[in-house]
Structure 1
């Protein structure tokens, strides 16, 4: 397996996006990032964009795709993904080579985000924080016994 392989761990999924560059940003009622290799990150709920670590008094911007309040996300164009993690609580964390961190939490009522990646896998943050996970042709729910 390569360093950027899609892999499940006890409390999270490592998404196979490491090293991929943001090549397109789209805005409607969602904020979408196209990455190399036809990978997509689609944000439907509010997210935090921070410079450096999300801890402490670092500058943070709230992104709200529903209101098209996402101008700060333009700084991600051309950035390379250094880390991409989907937590089994429904949160998503992306770290970029320009020092920006994108953090999205699960929404109690709606799908907050979804990511599709190389090889056909897909994760969706379901209402309330459960992850729906598709690996190849089989759909599974993260955390369920198979």
Structure 2
């Protein structure tokens, strides 16, 4: 599923037991479980947002003020993949017990990776 955030710019990054990416246009992505971050050179690091003291520095350096090239989520598993124009990639797999990530998009659309895998999408029109 295309998450309709392609081309948006990450304008702020926040940390509070999760990683929050705010984008132009009022879009917000919140990652609450283990995430994989690959830099443009192909180096991959996996972090738990709740237990990674170096995460704020690394995430800000790699994604702040960068434009998203493509973002997709698998409806059957909830696996999230966000690619940036410079080759950086964030991936978040489903979590057995928690919502791994959520996105608040345009016009009140909300997508949530459900515990155990899967994706639920609500719209303001539902």
**TM-score, with length taken from structure 1:** 0.78
1:52 offset after TM fit, Å? 4.8
Counterpart-to-counterpart distance in 2, 1:20 and 1:14? 13
Higher-Rg member (1/2): 1
CA RMSD, aligned part only?
1.5
The gaps in structure 1 that reach 5 residues or longer are 1-12, 139-146
Out of 10, 19, 29, the position equivalent to 2:7 is 19
Counterpart-to-counterpart distance in 2, 1:78 and 1:21? 6
The answer for the alignment partner of 2:65 in structure 1 is 78
Counterpart-to-counterpart distance in 1, 2:39 and 2:63? 11
Matched, 1:59 2:46: no
1:123 offset after TM fit, Å? 0.5
Out of 49, 52, 66, the position equivalent to 2:37 is 49
1:80 offset after TM fit, Å? 0.3
1:89-100 matched pairs, under 5 angstroms: 89-100=77-88
Match of 1:119, SS state, is: helix
Could you list the runs of 4 or more consecutive aligned residues of structure 1 that deviate by over 6 angstroms after TM superposition? none
The gaps in structure 2 that reach 5 residues or longer are none
The answer for the alignment partner of 1:135 in structure 2 is 123
1:32-43 matched pairs, under 5 angstroms: 32-43=20-31
Counterpart-to-counterpart distance in 1, 2:43 and 2:30? 23
1:93-132 matched pairs, under 5 angstroms: 93-132=81-120
**Higher relative contact order, chain-length normalized (CA < 8 Å, sep 6+):** 2
Counterpart-to-counterpart distance in 2, 1:78 and 1:49? 16
Give CA deviations for 1:66-104 in whole Å, capped at 9, x if unaligned. 114423211100010000101111110000012101000
Counterpart-to-counterpart distance in 2, 1:68 and 1:136? 35
